Amino acid sequence: MQSIRSRSFTASVALAVLAGCHDGATEPVKPASIAIVDGSGQVGTVGQRLGTSPTFVVKDDGGRAISGVSVAIVVTAGNGSIANAPRKSSAGPTSIGAWTLGQKAGANQLTVTVAGLPPTTAEIGKVTVDSGLLGAGVPCPIAGVTGPIPVANS
């Protein structure tokens, strides 16, 4: 019985000493990079939602994806809109939400920002006009045209 108490006491003292060596606080994992990993450079149609939402990832110094990092996602060109944009990163690729492109052919861009890091952007390569005269999904050759292109009869 004496030996069990002695071992128990010794184990308790050892645990107390070990606990005293650690302050209990852990450094929060800091984001080191942010990047668009999929969905940039797509072709889209004015006023329509993209078929594939771009995704981004936030990584630590070791290159591991980290979750719970506050993010801001803003349309920065093209006057489109984002629905259901996340406020925090997930532990892998994070969707930007549903991106509806602006009403004019031309550049559409969004920016993903994490405090303390340079922002990253996703850009749509071609925004097309969908009309019966031009044909669905045909790139509009005239910058700023937002509707059907009239065809002159000769």
Domains with residue ranges and CATH for the chain: 33-128 (2.60.40.10)
Specify the pLDDT at position 48: 92
Residue 94's closest CA among 71, 62, 61, 110? 71
Average pLDDT over residues 9-35: 66
Distance of alpha carbon 64 from alpha carbon 140, whole angstroms: 41
**Higher pLDDT, residue 11 or 150:** 11
| Distance from the first to the final alpha carbon of the chain | 110
Average pLDDT over residues 133-152: 42
Specify the pLDDT at position 17: 52
Asked whether the predicted pLDDT for residue 133 surpasses 50, the reply is: no
Most confident of 23-37, 67-81, 129-143: 67-81
Q: How confident is the model at residue 8 (pLDDT cuts 50, 70, 90)?
A: low
**Higher pLDDT, residue 98 or 146:** 98
Asked whether the predicted pLDDT for residue 151 surpasses 90, the reply is: no
Q: Which residue's structure tokens are 């002159």?
A: 152
